[in-house]
Structures are given as C-alpha cells and as structure tokens.
Amino acid sequence: MSNRQLALITGASSGIGREFAKSLAKSGYDIIAVARRRELLESLASELQVFGADTKVVVADLSTSVGVQSVIGEASNVDFLILNAGITRAARVGSTSGDEITKLNTLLATGVVEVCEAIVPKMMQRKMGSVVIVSSIAAFTPMPKSALYAAAKSYVTSYGRSLNLEVRKSGVRVCVVCPGYVRTELHQQAGLTHLRERVPKWLWIEPDDVVKAALRGLRKNKSVVVPGAVYRLARPFLGSGVAQTVWQRTTRRR
Ligand code: NDP
C-alpha cells in the first residue's frame, strides 16, 4: 500500500459499497474491499487503478464470526471504515431458523458492532478516523414480513447514534446512513424483484446519492442522515399510522 489514506469497505462488490469504493479511491484513499464474490472485488480493484488506488481484496463471509474477525484483523490501521455489507430478507414470522437469524444478525447488526468496538478505540488513540454504518429507513418504520431486517437495522442505528455522541470530541466521526429504496442488487438477491415495479420511481434513489449524503453527514458530524429529499421530508411522519399504511401498501413484500 502507498502513503495514501486507507479505507475498508464491507460489501464492496456491488451497489452502495462499490460506489463508496469508487468515491473514496477518487478522493485519494487506498481501499480494502471486503465481500464474498472474489471476481467482482478483483474487477473493482482494476477499475480503481485509474484513480491511482491500491486495492486489497478480502474475501469473507460476514454472517460468520470468522468473517467478522478477519475484518477486524484487516481494519486495525484504517482511516475510514464503511460498514455496509448486507442482504434484505422477506420472511413471515416463524419461517426463519435460529441459525438463519444468527447469521442475519451477525451480518447486519452484531458483527458491525464488534468491528466498531475493536477499531474505534484505535482511531481514538490516533485522534482521527471516520466510520459510516449503512443502516436503513427500516430503522424508523415497522416492516411486516421483514421484522428481522428492521430490528437489525434499528440495532445498528441506535448503536451508531450513541457512538457518535460518545466519541465526537476525540476526533473520530461516526455517521449512520439510513436509505430508503436504492437501485442496487439487494432486492433481486432476496427474490423481491417485483418491488422494482411496485415501488414508484420517485421513491428510488441511486447508490451515489447514499454516498454523497453519508460523506456530507460525516463532514457536518451528524449522527444519522437520510438520503433523498422525499425520505427526509417523510421521516418525521414515518411513525404515524397513516404514513405507515401508505408505506406498507406501496412497498408490500408479497
Ligand atoms: P447489494 O446487494 O448491491 O450489495 C450488498 C453487498 O453486501 C454486496 O457487496 C455483497 O457482496 C455484500 N454481502 C452480502 N452478504 C454478505 C456476506 N454474508 N458477507 C460479506 N458480504 C456480504 O445491495 P446494497 O448495495 O443495496 O446493500 C448495501 C447495504 O445497504 C445493505 O446493508 C442494505 O441493507 C443497505 N440498504 C439498501 C437499500 C436498498 O434499497 N438497496 C435500502 C436501505 C439499506 P457478496 O454477495 O459478494 O458477498
């Protein structure tokens, strides 16, 4: 690696994580790119060469504790940590095994927290560092048939908000970004391709919108940011019964 700053990005093989990698490589970071699909990470590494970035490919399954530990091992000296890897899951109550629940929670919630608990104190010692946790608007509104996903996103959102206040005077910044619908592979991977048609076009944002909102949030030291004007306007009302009915009709998960 060169003397550029160093960013580790989980879920860098596609979607929002890949966009973070391009944006940070462009602004002078070397990248540690983590995900399961090696070939996509290697193609990312070639793409980032154009920005002069060195990219280290780390293949890890972050729904396992071995995968989480490998990220902790790689992240000890990073300046920027983007905890983004995730899947969504549509499942009625009772249809998810204990093992699947553990894996989902490790990937979306407890693994993210474990990495922060290991790496943020090191950043505090150096009096510098940035952390982005990619959560979801699901942290603010109930999601029938996706309760496990919503619960995991609430957990990391709550953790990140508290962490931001705890460390903000130490030179370390923590920002939780809570997107609504973003055009990525997420829904297709979960068998929810119908949402592409069902959810109105004006509710979809691009991965780049998420990256820009997160970087702006970090600059302003905000604990939580919601990308996209529509979502920002709707956020205060997401707890109301009317908003929840409209939201659930529009985004029904079969
Ligand atoms: P994508 O499916 O495009 O990307 C998900 C990324 O996570 C991929 O790089 C995937 O890589 C990685 N990943 C998934 N499972 C694992 C695993 N077990 N171990 C390691 N890496 C894994 O979706 P998005 O870019 O949309 O998702 C990124 C984040 O954004 C997620 O946390 C998601 O919850 C959140 N989000 C997305 C929204 C959307 O509408 N798209 C809305 C709100 C939040 P690989 O398969 O190679 O392992």
* Domains in the chain: ranges and CATH: 5-251 (3.40.50.720)
Residue 160 Cβ inside 6 Å of ligand 1? The answer reads no
Average pLDDT of 168-184?
97
Q: Tell me how far apart the alpha carbons of residues 214 and 237 are, in angstroms, rounded to a whole number.
A: 22
Q: Is residue 163 very low, low, confident or very high in pLDDT (cuts 50, 70, 90)? A: very high
Q: How far apart are CA 214 and CA 167, in angstroms?
A: 18
Task: Say whether pLDDT at 1 is over 70.
Answer: no
Residue 21: what pLDDT? 98
Is the CB–ligand 1 distance for residue 85 below 6 Å?
yes
The rounded distance, in Å, linking the Cα atoms of 142 and 137 is: 10
State mean pLDDT over 157-164: 98
Give the C-alpha separation, 27 to 48, whole Å: 11
Whose C-alpha lies nearest to ligand 1, atom 44?
136
Q: What is the pLDDT of residue 237?
A: 81
pLDDT band at residue 50 using 50, 70 and 90 as cut-offs:
very high
Residue closest to 38 by CA, chosen among 16, 61, 15: 61
Residue 226 C-beta-side C-alpha neighbours within 13 Å:
17
**How do 5-10 and 129-134 pair as beta strands?**
unpaired
Sequence-separated (6 or more) residues with CB below 8 Å from residue 142 = 150, 244
pLDDT tier at 176 (50, 70, 90 boundaries)? very high
Asked which of 30-44, 85-99, 191-205, 219-233 is least confident by mean pLDDT, the reply is 191-205
